[in-house]
Amino acid sequence: MIIRTRGRALFCRAALALLIAAPVTAVADDDYDTNVDYNGLAVAIDRALPKAPRHRPRRLQEAWVQMSYVVTPDGRAVDPIIINSSGGAQFEDEVRKVSESWRFEPSVTGAELPFNVTNTRFTIRGRGKGTTRRFARFAQHIMRNLHNGDVEAARKEADTALNLGGWNLYESTILWLMVGRVEGAEGDDVDKLEMYRRGLAISDERSLQRDARIDLLEDIFELEAKFGQYSAAMQTLAVLKEVRGSKAAVKRLEARTEEITTILESGPVLVANAIVVNPCNCDAGVALWDYIPVRRTFSFANLNGNVERFEARCELQRLSGAVETDQQWTLEADWGFCQIFVFGDDGATFDFLEHAPGNEDSDAVDETAVARNHVLDRRSRSQ
């Protein structure tokens, strides 16, 4: 199957008529493999792997969960936040629960380490790369409708597949990329970007091979640059450079990269139009907005609804406070890499302003620099 993007072919590497997985049958808890990738400064002593939930809502369910947490001075993992996931609330709950038992080396400085992120993959042992016949039918119908220009029919099939759920991660990768294609066909490139990023996050080398990964990363970079998501674009570029055979793609992006670098080094205030949503597909989830800033000084404006508080989790420091307008906060350079979370009521909106170094008092605003104006609400998209 080939998904066409702007002038390039994004290969999902799935000959759907041939890659048919095993029939749908019940799966025991011990039939799952769990892998956890970790990003942070804390040194692990004991980090037990999450188990697949005992009462899964669907059979043959695989999942991916991304979680942020803080490591205390005595080495405990606290304050977990589910940032992103695919597979359902029970997998999210299991990752959150097992993190309570994780232990790390005590901090030599006696301070907490706030920036820690894990990516957990639940996969079915022996499942391999492949699709069920049921998923193959959905994929074929979606792509056929898109090819024929029937976007409404493609949307209907895509929404049905999302609501049905129960797909393995290989199928989920393909599904999110197809949904991104549907969003683009509907003229919504913001949602298209979110779907493409979801597909990339879930994918592995089997579901998204090298050439397809290069094409997808290039598409994501261009969309992030288009919407002024400059920090994300530069991170995407760094990932792209690490992929073997990506030199031609990096070369094509040189001019835009130089433009972004100039904007970041000086220039007007960058504006991120934000909406608070519940990223957890469960009642226990906390409504939030998360963002990786490209500048160190920020403020808030245009609050609409209850936007309660923010928390900046940096590698060596945590900063938190009430969200108030006409006030600026600065993330010191020696705090390291940072991620910002904003909490409030589901549906509340605000502007997140990033101020240029040495020009923090400038009133000039780059209205095109929308760092993020949509966050996927997984309550209505169960996959």
Q: Provide the percentage of residues in the chain whose pLDDT is more than 70.
A: 80
Range in 117-121, 202-206, 246-250, 352-356 the model is least confident about: 202-206
Which contacts qualify for 322-331: CB closer than 8 Å, 24 or more apart?
323/350, 324/300, 325/299, 325/300, 325/301, 326/299, 327/299, 327/300, 328/297, 328/298, 328/299, 328/355, 328/360, 329/297, 329/298, 329/299, 330/296, 330/297, 331/293, 331/296, 331/297, 331/298
The 10s digit of each residue's pLDDT in 141-177 is: 999 999 999 999 999 999 999 888 778 888 889 999 9
Q: What angle do CA 110, 317, 314 make, to 5 degrees?
A: 135
DSSP assignment letter at 331: -
Buried-exposed string 257-276: b where 16+ CB fall within 10 A, e elsewhere: beebeebbeeebbbbbebbb
Domain boundaries, the chain: 29-124, 268-370
Buried-exposed string 87-114: b where 16+ CB fall within 10 A, e elsewhere: bbbbbbbbbbebbeebbbebbeeeebbb
The 10s digit of each residue's pLDDT in 172-207 is: 899 999 999 999 999 989 889 988 998 998 888 878
Q: What is the pLDDT of residue 62?
A: 85
Q: Which residue has the higher pLDDT, 59 or 133?
A: 133
pLDDT of 264 strictly over 70: yes
- Distance, in Å, from the CA atom of 230 to the CA atom of 224, rounded to the nearest integer, reads 7
Amino acid code (one letter) for 190 = V
Q: What is the pLDDT of residue 150?
A: 96
pLDDT of 293 strictly over 60: yes
pLDDT of 377 strictly over 50: no
pLDDT of 366 strictly over 60: no
Nearest to 24 by CA among 61, 64, 67, 65: 61
pLDDT of 49 strictly over 70: yes
Q: What are phi and psi of 331, to 5 degrees?
A: -95, 110
Q: What are phi and psi of 165, to 5 degrees?
A: 60, -165
187's tokens? 């003229």
29-124 CATH, one of 3.40.50.2300, 3.20.20.70, 2.40.50.90, 3.30.2420.10:
3.30.2420.10
Compute the mean pLDDT over every residue in the chain, rounded to the nearest whole number.
82
Q: Which residue has the higher pLDDT, 169 or 211?
A: 211
pLDDT of 279 strictly over 70: no
pLDDT of 100 strictly over 50: yes
CATH architecture for the domain at 268-370: Sandwich (2.60)
- Distance, in Å, from the CA atom of 315 to the CA atom of 339, rounded to the nearest integer, reads 9
